[in-house]
Structure 1
Amino acid sequence: MEVRVLGRWLWRLIGLAAVGIGALGTVVPLLPTTPFLLLAAWAFARGSERWRQWLLNHPRFGPAIRSWQAERAIPRKAKWIGIASLIGTMLIALWMDLPPAALTLQAIALIAVSIFLLSRPDGNSG
C-alpha cells in the first residue's frame, strides 16, 4: 500500500476510536463526549470526507460539532453537564482523601476548565 493510503486509514482509525470513546461518554459518568467527537471530526477531515460528513450530519453528535466549528460555541446543556462532572470529579478526589497538593492542583485545573466552559458562547443545539 502507498504511504498516502496508509495515512488516510490511520486518520480513519483515530477518528473511529474517538467516536467510540465519545459514544461511551454519553453513558459513562465523567467521561467527556464532545472533545472526542471534535477529535474525530478533525481526524476524519484528514482521512475521509465521507466519514466527516456522516459525523457532522449525525442527529445526536453533529449539532455540537457544527456549533463549535462555526462559532466556538458550546451548548448550554453541555456546559452544565460539564460543570456538574467537574464538581463530581472534585468530590470524588475529596472522598478519596488525596494529598492537599494534589487537591490544590486539581482544583486549579477544574476551575480553569470551568472558566473556559462558561466563557464560550451558547451553541444553537442546547
Structure 2
Amino acid sequence: MYKILLLILGWLAMGLACLGAVLPILPTTPFLLLAAWCFARSSPRFHHWLLYRSWFGSYLHHWQTYRGLPPGAKWKAIMIVLVTFSFSLWTISLWWVRALLMVILVVILAFMLRIPVIDPLQQNDK
C-alpha cells in the first residue's frame, strides 16, 4: 500500500512539474525532485525512466550526482522565468495580482540564483 501511495504521489508530482514548465506561477523543480524521490522508493522502473528518458532527466541526474546544475542551464531557466512572468505581468490588469506575481518572481529568482553551477572541471574532481 505504501508503494502504491508513493507511485500515485510521484505521478501527481510529475504532472504538476509538467504544468509548472509552462505556467509561470507553478514551480517545476520541487515537483520533479518529489517525483524522483517517490519513484526511487516505489518503482525502480519509473525512477530510471525519469532520470534517463524523460525531458527533465539530464537535469535530475546531474542534480543527484553533483548537487548542482550543468553550465548554461541556470541562465536558460532564469530567462524562461523572466519571459513567462513578463508576459503574465503584461496581460494582467489587476494591481494586486501583479504585485503577487512580482513577489513570486523575486522569490523564484532568489532561489534560482542560489543553485550552484557545476562546470566540467568540477565534475571530473568528484
Q: TM-score range by the shorter chain?
A: 0.5 to 0.7
Counterpart of 2:73 in structure 1 is 77
SS in 1 for 2:62: helix
The alpha carbon displacement at 1:65 in A equals 0.7
TM-score (norm 1): 0.67
Inter-partner Cα distance in structure 1 for 2:105 and 2:80: 11
Deviation per residue, 1:27-52 (Å, 9 max, x gap): x4546544332221111122123321
Ranges in structure 1 where 5+ consecutive residues have no aligned partner: 1-5
Instruction: Note the 1:27-106 alignment, pairs <5 A.
Output: 28=22, 30=24, 32-58=27-53, 60-75=55-70, 76-77=72-73, 79-99=75-95, 101-106=96-101
Q: 1:79 to 1:36 in 2, by over 3 A?
A: farther
The alpha carbon displacement at 1:9 in A equals 0.7
CA contact under 8 A between 1:14 and 1:43: conserved in structure 2?
Answer: yes
Which stretch shifts more, 60-69 or 14-23?
14-23
- Counterpart code for 2:55: R
Alignment identity in percent? 34
CA contact under 8 A between 2:92 and 2:98: conserved in structure 1?
Answer: no
- Report the number of matched residues: 118
**Backbone CA RMSD of aligned residues:** 3.0
Q: 1:33 to 1:109 in 2, by over 3 A?
A: closer
CA contact under 8 A between 1:90 and 1:107: conserved in structure 2?
Answer: no
TM-score (norm 2): 0.67
CA contact under 8 A between 1:73 and 1:121: conserved in structure 2?
Answer: yes
